[in-house]
Amino acid sequence: MTTFAVIGAGINGAAVAREITSRFPGSPVTVFDKADDIASHQSGHNSGVVHAGLYYEPGSLKARLCRRGVGLMRDYALANDVPYDECGKIVVALHEDEEPRLRNIHERAVANGVPDVRLIGPEEIREIEPNAVGRLALHSPHTAIIDYAAVTRALIKDVEAAGGDIRLGREILGISNNDHGCALTTADGTETFDIVIACAGLQSDRIARMAGGAEYPKIVPFFGQYSQLNPTHRDILNGLVYPVPDPAYPFLGVHLTKRVDGEMLVGPNAFLSFGRENYTGWNVGVKDSLDVAANPGFWRFASQNLKAAVAEFTAVLSRKRFLAGAAEYVPALTGAESTPITRGIRAQAMDKDGTLVDDFVIEHVGRATLIRNAPSPGATSSLAIAEHILDVVATTHHLDQ
């Protein structure tokens, strides 16, 4: 009988643990998380979008697992009474120079098998979103919204129902890993498992190094600040409105996102977070900040993105300017008021040369399997990521299923 441990009780850790109980019924599985609650980090601080697979390089692991993950997520939500709203999304080009980039996104979406995706003009933009404007848009009618924290809770319940052991408030302090087993040390002592799978999100590089993994990629945390529109603008859109991504900056830009509880969010801006868990903006992480400062790749990245970073920082300082960006796409938002909500922090993997790692990265070392990078659409893809990891683990370690 194979013993398993999973590090991380976010959506990816929960999905992996559930997949283990499904494939290896009767095999003990223990989930560790240093937080006192599940989904405490990225899984509980996000926009809740179930991504359809528009932007990703065709054939990449990200593209393949996203498309597989969408179907699995929808089926799981419907089977477990988790709210799931296929509200649709438009990606809008306001200016002529954005149109070639939008057409390229359309080509990628088609290549990735995104259903019913198409380019639409100004009249159809108004038909789908009467308050939105644009020269050209990409319509993805099956893009959905969900509550990923609720999904994570449901997955953990499945794990517990199958006999899994969930240990919260248990920080991993050390890992001894070889071809025969993997020992995890917490404040309670040391235990050895046959297989360890780390889904540690913002701490993924540190956990990987403990297990003997590569030095890079390293995590550089970027915060995303959302604001919630006041009640008078709650119903201003039917679905989601996104800008065409700016190639000068490697994030999606300010967009409007409907939430499953009916609230409408504007955001996020994206800027360096001074702390991997600095959700308030005031809880500066000294160790985390020093790690970033000591990373030569970060300074290369910063020098190449200085202009865009200044623009993002201006939006951080001024919510009025932040909302003005959204009002370019939805003019009725001019003069709207909003309230900042708890920020999210993106675990962005960065290589030594300052390149942001785009695809999912999964490393295998001894008896440990380590998710090194699972950015958006990591939550969308979580059930498919779990399938993929267990396929590889079972094959590599010759496990009977």
DSSP string, 103-167: HHHHHHHHHTT-TT-EEE-HHHHHHH-TT---SEEEEETT-EEE-HHHHHHHHHHHHHHTT-EEE
Nearest to 261 by CA among 236, 279, 234: 234
CA pair distance 239, 259, nearest whole angstrom: 9
DSSP state of 212: T
Question: Rounded CA gap, 318 and 333, in Å?
Answer: 16
Per-residue pLDDT of the chain (401 residues; tens, 9 = 90+): 899 999 999 999 999 999 999 999 999 999 999 999 999 999 988 989 999 999 999 999 999 999 999 999 999 999 999 999 999 999 999 999 999 999 999 999 999 999 999 999 999 999 999 999 999 999 999 999 999 999 999 999 999 999 999 999 999 999 999 888 999 999 999 999 999 999 999 999 999 999 999 999 999 998 888 889 999 999 999 999 999 987 666 666 788 999 999 999 987 777 788 889 988 877 788 888 888 888 888 888 777 765 555 455 455 545 677 788 889 999 999 888 888 887 888 898 999 999 989 899 999 999 999 999 998 899 999 999 999 999 999 999 988 77
The DSSP string of 174-193 is EEEE-SS-EEEEETTEEEEE
pTM of the model: 0.93
Return the structure tokens found at 78.
Answer: 């419907």
Max CA pair span of the chain: 64
- Hey, CA dihedral for 52, 66, 341, 31, is it positive or negative? positive
Closest CA to 148 of 17, 16, 39: 39
Count the alpha carbons within 13 Å of 108 in the hemisphere toward its beta carbon: 20
**DSSP one-letter code for 205:** H
CATH architecture of 4-45+149-217+358-396: 3-Layer(bba) Sandwich (3.50)
Select the CATH number that applies to the domain covering 219-356 from these four: 3.30.450, 1.10.10, 3.30.9, 3.40.50.
3.30.9
Query: Domain extents for the chain?
Result: 4-45+149-217+358-396, 89-141, 219-356
3-state secondary structure of 379: coil
Q: Which residue has the tokens 């969308």?
A: 380
